[in-house]
Structure 1
Amino acid sequence: MTTAIAGRIEIVSDAICPWCWIGKAHLDGALELLAAEGLAFGLGWLPFQLNPDMPEGGVDRRAYRTEKFGSWERSQQMDAQVADAGRVAGVEFRHDRMARTPNTVEAHRLIRLAGVDGVQHATMDRVFRAYFNEGQDIGDRAVLGALGREAGMAAPTLEAFAAGDAARAEVVAESRALAQAGINGVPSVLLDRHLLFSGAMPAERMADGIRRAVAILRDRAA
């Protein structure tokens, strides 16, 4: 079967959003289903900061979530629900290893720069796994650099990431612009900059939504 590029899918995400990791796993499944039908897509990730006022060095996760949700017990209940959903999607959360809630600007910088090397999708997956499964501090520039290297980012790109603030202004501006455009939940999935859906729905439902959107956009272009 001939595979045709049917458009560009972009995922609006934050690196500390557990549903975004689950959503990525479901999206990968949806893309496999669509590929079997001859549909392929360009892929990209767009930045969204759930906690734009988070201190640069992050905060203790237990203290932060206790304050946010009223008690540590309530936080643990929510973590258990996420872990259950993760198992269905094929990803394993290890909340016991997660010590800090980071500021995600550095992670978003890395992901944006990974696009230069064509490895955004792989880098995003590596960052998710590092935080949610391995308990690494993804607010730490050195940690992120190592993750980018593992995901296939080129040495010059990683040097630019480590050396200064490459892509910082773009990440902050784009996150703000997406919020102003009405994105208020992540993950949100766009096809050719048209919002398709938000949330980590199962692969079959994602595939159906994308399939319908492709048909509509093709009819409009005809």
Structure 2
Amino acid sequence: MDQAHPIGRIDVISDAICPWCYIGKRHLERALDILAEHHCKIAVAWHPFQLNPDMPAEGVEREKYRIAKFGGLERSRQIDQRLTEAAAHVGLEFHLEKIVRTPNTINAHRLIRFAGQKGVQDAVVEELFEGYFCKGADIGDSKILADLGAEGGLDRAEVLAMLASDQGRKEVLAGDQMARNAGIQGVPSFALQGHVLFSGAVPAEEMASSFRRAWDILKNRAA
């Protein structure tokens, strides 16, 4: 059997309240399967970006936030319907009507960072996305974050202790600023070996092709 070729690392810059990031995660998972069929090993790491960096720590009522953002409740509902349909195409069942508050996501990003240190980052990211978009979980609430972290394989008490401290806050804010300094304005954004390739929930086949082309270019440069 051929040896799997180590292609390196994909970095995903995302926010836990970005619906296209969850949809993009499903496309990425399929892209990874395609790469594996070509004997390419790959690692994935998730990095912070705040869609609402000025969001109050307690968050805001979602309906109020959406009206302010989109200019009216009807417009907001139309967008939610399109998002729900797009999610269904990748096997996700969104229930956006269950979301009561749009949260500040710094603590969610701190949880994702903590999960990365514990080796369960992808599982915790999945729980956050599913909790928020499918179940309406308030991912600005520390107890709910601890519950979701535990579902993803973390120790609940350790998560609560981490969130009660300032652990990871400086690093999350620095990561967010780093993404902005790199010119990233929207998420999800995807990078290979530190080189940002594209943004958006592009189809899996296109993702896999972009990663393979980029890897070939990088490999040739290093030769």
Range into which the TM-score falls when normalised by the shorter chain: over 0.9
* In structure 1, C-alpha distance between the alignment counterparts of 2:182 and 2:147, rounded to whole Å: 34
Residue aligning to 2:75: 74
Report the Cα offset of residue 194 of structure 1.
0.3
Which amino acid in 2 is paired with 1:166?
Q
Which amino acid in 2 is paired with 1:124?
V
Instruction: Name segments (4+ residues, structure 1) moved above 4 Å.
Output: 154-157
Residue aligning to 2:115: 114
Report the Cα offset of residue 23 of structure 1.
0.3
SS at match of 1:152: coil
Report the Cα offset of residue 163 of structure 1.
3.4
Residue aligning to 1:150: 151
Residue aligning to 1:171: 172
Asked if the contact 1:117–1:154 (Cα under 8 Å) also holds between the matched residues in 2, the reply is no
Asked if the contact 2:9–2:43 (Cα under 8 Å) also holds between the matched residues in 1, the reply is yes
Runs of 5+ in structure 1 lacking a partner? none
Asked if the contact 2:15–2:50 (Cα under 8 Å) also holds between the matched residues in 1, the reply is yes
Query: What is the total number of aligned residue pairs between the two structures?
Result: 222
Which amino acid in 1 is paired with 2:84?
A
1:33 pairs with 2:34: yes
SS at match of 1:184: coil
Asked if the contact 1:160–1:166 (Cα under 8 Å) also holds between the matched residues in 2, the reply is no
Report the Cα offset of residue 37 of structure 1.
0.9
Normalising by structure 2, report the TM-score: 0.96
Query: Which digits, 9 at most, give the CA deviation of each residue in 1:116-172, with x for residues without a partner?
Result: 111111111110000000000000111111111111124675254233121011101
1:131 pairs with 2:132: yes
Report the Cα offset of residue 214 of structure 1.
1.1
Query: Which digits, 9 at most, give the CA deviation of each residue in 1:156-200, with x for residues without a partner?
Result: 752542331210111011101211220101000011110011000
Asked if the contact 2:142–2:160 (Cα under 8 Å) also holds between the matched residues in 1, the reply is no
1:102 pairs with 2:103: yes
Residue aligning to 2:94: 93
Report the Cα offset of residue 203 of structure 1.
0.6
Query: Which digits, 9 at most, give the CA deviation of each residue in 1:79-100, with x for residues without a partner?
Result: 1111111111111110111111
Which amino acid in 2 is paired with 1:145?
A
* Matching of residues 52-71 of structure 1 within 5 Å: 52-71=53-72
Asked if the contact 2:146–2:157 (Cα under 8 Å) also holds between the matched residues in 1, the reply is no
1:3 pairs with 2:8: no
* In structure 1, C-alpha distance between the alignment counterparts of 2:222 and 2:122, rounded to whole Å: 28
Normalising by structure 1, report the TM-score: 0.96
Asked if the contact 1:145–1:161 (Cα under 8 Å) also holds between the matched residues in 2, the reply is no
SS at match of 1:182: coil
RMSD: 1.2
* In structure 1, C-alpha distance between the alignment counterparts of 2:38 and 2:77, rounded to whole Å: 41
Residue aligning to 2:44: 43
Asked if the contact 1:114–1:157 (Cα under 8 Å) also holds between the matched residues in 2, the reply is no
Identity rate of aligned residues, in percent?
A: 50
